Structure 1
């Protein structure tokens, strides 16, 4: 009888020890609960699962490292296909702020707190002290304040997405120290000031999306040093000066959106003999002629040069392009006959209106 009791006691003890060993540390659990206390989510109840001692087990949006049992990932997205959202037939809405207590989770690899619409406050300054952080995704909230000035300390960071918020201030110089950064999304904020001249140091960057801000100054030619860059969107800002010709010499650049700025000067010939397939230069103050350099290698899904001060005739070489899907030359000072054949035979009059003296199909006969 005593032997049976001893075996039972040892078994229970082993189970308790195993449970403690396999649980997240109490300090991580406390940090998560303090993080939760700063937020209010009244509709879906996503925090109802944050109970018990083990924050690595069935806590919604929390993942832990298998070996250390430290919290590694926070993934809370307000627009999701998760059954919680589908059952409620709604997207998420959360208010409050991101508590600095999150910085006590020193093994964090990713922070995704996205699309909650009502989260305000600032990005915690201490976030740049998390050495293992690879992903920061805070898109679609109401976060304000500046980007932390020492964000460049996060040498492992590959994704920095703070789009659709109310972030202000300038792009900090230290951001160009993010040597692993691949995806930068600052769209639709209130960011002002220039693009740092050292932006070209972001050699791993493949997407740079900075549209819908108040960024001013000139486009640094050093951006062309980012040989992996495929998408560059600087539209709807206050950029001025010429378009650097070096942008047309980038190896993999496929999308270049510079529309709705204050750019001036001639359009660089290099942009039309490059690999860029989506080119939007509309709503600027560009002048001169449209370069007559199109050929069989020219392939554009979008070519928008509307709302500028371009003059002269439409280059006949456009007809030799392998493909042009959408072409808009409206609101310029172009003159002469619209060329015939592809792509002109499938374009609407809206692509050519409000020029000085264009004629021919689809406009009035010459």
Structure 2
């Protein structure tokens, strides 16, 4: 009887171990989807996909991560510029080519897609990613991806990061994007995206960074942007944006960097910007007129204040010397006139900060005529 009991216990243990191993392995459907995804990519120099073999894609497959509870594939992370040891033996800088297969959409528990900095991946973003409800992180930066942003991307209600920078994406920002109320990081810089910035983008209250530089955006700056209280970094530079600068930018409590350079912005500089939380303010290369606001004070702190290449007139305001700090100042290529104030920050600036104005004078330019 004891022998039979021992044998029964042993058999039960073996069955449990076998079942446990089976459960912990990735699903055959996930493995098949990964291999279908991999078939559309070519990477001959580093051997990124050399580990994609065997039955268990949750263990040892480079860049693949699985949910520990469901054992479904939850993440694909493939970066072309990586410090991972697998890249140390590359024959040359990694270059992956091919396209992103729609097979990726068969990984229904996917929360992370990072296929970044390969420079050679082309094709379009599969529109079926709209149907991956667990997606939180999409990063396809630094490739040659073309086509448009999927129209119904707003269905991804968990999405926190959308980084499509440095590609060849065209079309407009889908208006459905304003449904992404969990979105914290939006980076679309250096593409060929056109149209207007969605007017109700201010609905995205979790946004901390909005980087849209180097596109073909037109229209005015949406006033609703100034109602995103978490926004720290806003870069709309090198576009075709028109109209005035919303004065309410100066009332945002955490906005630290505002880059609007290289647009067609007109009107005057809101005085509130000079005493705001903004420490990096770049308004250069626009059509801004009027005078530099005489509203500087002890709260004014600028690592960069660039007002160059505009249509500003009048003097440099005397209140600028009351600023607590100004690291870099550039007011060149305007129509300013009068004596340059003395003292900080002017004691460490060179002439290039003031050249090509109508009649500025004083140190570091020439003496003023009596």
Q: Same fold (TM over 0.5)?
A: yes
Q: Does 1:343 align with 2:345?
A: yes
Q: Which residue of 1 aligns with 2:42?
A: 40
Count of aligned positions: 366
Deviation at 1:89, TM superposition (A): 6.8
**Cα deviation 1:139-192 (Å, max 9, x = unaligned):** 000000000010000010000000000000001100011000000000000000
Q: Which residue of 1 aligns with 2:205?
A: 203
TM-score norm. by structure 2 comes to 0.96
Structure 2 residue matching 1:335: 3-state secondary structure: strand
Contact 1:332 / 1:355 at 8 angstroms: preserved in 2? yes
Q: Does 1:123 align with 2:101?
A: no
Deviation at 1:249, TM superposition (A): 1.2
Q: Does 1:159 align with 2:161?
A: yes
Deviation at 1:47, TM superposition (A): 0.2
Deviation at 1:316, TM superposition (A): 1.1
Q: Does 1:232 align with 2:224?
A: no
Q: Which residue of 1 aligns with 2:73?
A: 71
RMSD, aligned CA = 1.6
Alignment partner of 2:220 out of 218, 221, 229: 218
Deviation at 1:336, TM superposition (A): 0.8
**Cα deviation 1:67-121 (Å, max 9, x = unaligned):** 1100011111111100111232744210000000000100011110000100000
Distance 1:265 1:32 in 2: 53
Q: Which residue of 1 aligns with 2:281?
A: 279
Q: Which segments of 5 or more consecutive residues in structure 1 lack a partner in the other structure? A: none
Distance 1:142 1:130 in 2: 23
Q: CA, structure 1 residues 337+162, in 2 after alignment: closer, same or farther (shift >3 Å)?
A: same
Deviation at 1:62, TM superposition (A): 0.5
Contact 1:279 / 1:303 at 8 angstroms: preserved in 2? yes
**Cα deviation 1:236-256 (Å, max 9, x = unaligned):** 000001111111111211100
TM-score norm. by structure 1 comes to 0.97
Q: Which residue of 1 aligns with 2:152?
A: 150
Contact 1:286 / 1:310 at 8 angstroms: preserved in 2? yes
Deviation at 1:16, TM superposition (A): 3.5
Q: CA, structure 1 residues 242+121, in 2 after alignment: closer, same or farther (shift >3 Å)?
A: same
Distance 1:234 1:225 in 2: 16
Deviation at 1:17, TM superposition (A): 2.9
Alignment partner of 2:86 out of 84, 97, 108: 84
Alignment partner of 2:300 out of 298, 301, 315: 298
Contact 2:310 / 2:333 at 8 angstroms: preserved in 1? yes
Contact 2:46 / 2:91 at 8 angstroms: preserved in 1? no
**Where do 1:85-104 residues align within 5 Å?**
85-88=87-90, 90-104=92-106
Distance 1:343 1:271 in 2: 18
Q: Single out whichever of 85-94 and 263-272 deviates more from structure 2.
A: 85-94
Distance 2:257 2:234 in 1: 6
Q: Does 1:190 align with 2:187?
A: no
Contact 1:92 / 1:115 at 8 angstroms: preserved in 2? no
Q: Which segments of 5 or more consecutive residues in structure 2 lack a partner in the other structure? A: none
Contact 2:157 / 2:181 at 8 angstroms: preserved in 1? yes
Deviation at 1:46, TM superposition (A): 0.7
Distance 1:354 1:298 in 2: 26
Contact 2:46 / 2:89 at 8 angstroms: preserved in 1? no
**Cα deviation 1:259-315 (Å, max 9, x = unaligned):** 000000111111112111100000000000000010111000000000000010001
Deviation at 1:361, TM superposition (A): 0.9
Deviation at 1:205, TM superposition (A): 0.4
